């Protein structure tokens, strides 16, 4: 992805002095580069309450409550699922992916399905399952002390 951004920057740098400089053209070029940069990486975080994902510098982000996650499993995305943020209709799911085909599929209590692309699906799956189990143990402990 970084090579794509670099290629676009070089193309734009070549175009500016060789063509008529139009402010609108420059604005469009800047917007295109910013959009591509915003999808250049995908960061996944897990804390006590949430599983969070953030693309690039954080314009596109989503949080999932650990209490709402029912399951997590390692999956392979088809090549035609694409990259970025996708709503796939069959099966109905949201896909968050930057590169590659490895992902972790999470199912929510409300039936929604999400796939999070990652280079280390087994690690992410075990981290999510560990966080879910910890929340279950905490809830059972609180219920037993009442």
pLDDT digits (tens, 9 = 90+) for 77-127: 999 998 889 999 988 999 999 989 999 999 999 999 999 999 999 999 999
Percent of the chain clearing pLDDT 70 (strictly above): 88
What are the residue ranges spanned by the domains of the chain?
2-38, 42-144
Fold designation for 42-144: PH-domain like (2.30.29)
Taking the CA of residue 1 as centre, how many other CA atoms within 13 Å lie in the half-sphere pointing to its CB? 18
Q: How far apart are CA 89 and CA 6, in angstroms?
A: 33
pTM of the predicted model, to two decimals? 0.78
Predicted pLDDT of residue 27:
82
23-38 vs 2-18: helix axis angle to the nearest 10? 170
């Amino acid at each position: 992805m970084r090579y794509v951004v670099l290629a676009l920057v070089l193309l734009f740098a070549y175009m500016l002095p060789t063509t008529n400089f139009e402010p609108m053209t420059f604005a469009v070029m800047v917007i295109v580069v910013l959009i591509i940069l915003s999808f250049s990486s995908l960061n996944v975080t897990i804390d006590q309450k949430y599983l969070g994902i953030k693309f690039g510098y954080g314009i596109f982000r989503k949080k999932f409550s650990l209490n709402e996650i029912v399951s997590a499993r390692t999956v392979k995305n088809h090549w035609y699922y694409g990259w970025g943020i996708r709503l796939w209709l069959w099966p109905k799911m949201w896909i968050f992916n930057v590169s590659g085909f490895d992902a972790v599929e999470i199912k929510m209590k409300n039936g929604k399905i999400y796939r999070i692309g990652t280079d280390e699906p087994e690690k992410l799956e075990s981290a999510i399952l560990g966080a879910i189990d910890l929340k279950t143990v905490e809830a059972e402990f609180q219920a037993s002390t009442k």
